[in-house]
Amino acid sequence: MSTTVDAGTAERLVREQFAIIETGRLELAEHNVTPDFVNHRSITEPPAARGRGPGALQATVRWLRTAFTDLEFELHRFELVGDTAIAWVTLYGRQTGAFVGHDPDDGSVTDVFPATGRSFATRQVHWFRIAGDGIAEHDAVRDDLGLARQLGWVPPRPAYVIRMLLARRRARAGR
């Protein structure tokens, strides 16, 4: 059942969630999301990010900020439909750390993309279900192939594939 949400509150919450990712101010997650918050895009993130509530958002932020710096969301358009806020954005950043992918079932490390130092700009659309004074659910569509191309992950060059395999071995050994 959809309820009507104040547009100002919804936009503030969405902008705040983007700011949490940009700045790494994890304490803001406590009041940004509901205790049962769920991120539907967290399937290949670390297991802690697949949980619920502020801790899951904090785990996602730590995971992203380990791989990327200079993160900035440019909000192009914002709409509120019932209790769902929709944000069309471009995410800018630079890969300065390893980006680690995890198995959807057991959470083990599946892929590691070593830092390239390259910058990126990728279009995204995010959906946020607002419940009371917090975000209860998040989903998104992202241009991950465009991101991978900009960062030099694809097409894979032989030297980079070797770096990926060595980084994955290190990540699995460190687990």
Residue-level pLDDT, tens digit, the chain, 175 residues = 556 799 999 999 999 999 999 999 999 999 999 999 999 999 999 999 999 999 999 999 999 999 999 999 999 999 999 999 999 999 999 999 999 999 999 999 999 999 999 999 999 999 999 999 999 999 999 999 999 999 999 998 999 999 999 999 999 998 6
Q: Are 17 and 57 in contact (CB under 8 A)?
A: yes
In angstroms, what CA-CA distances link 78 with 13, 25, 84, 122, 143?
12, 23, 11, 17, 19
Q: What is the pTM of this model?
A: 0.93
- Rounded CA-CA distance 103/152 in Å is 22
- Rounded CA-CA distance 129/84 in Å is 4
Under 8 Å CB-to-CB from 113, ≥6 apart: which residues? 67, 95, 98, 99, 100, 101, 151, 153, 164, 167
What structural domains does the chain harbor? Answer: 7-173 (3.10.450.50)
Q: Specify the pLDDT at position 156.
A: 87
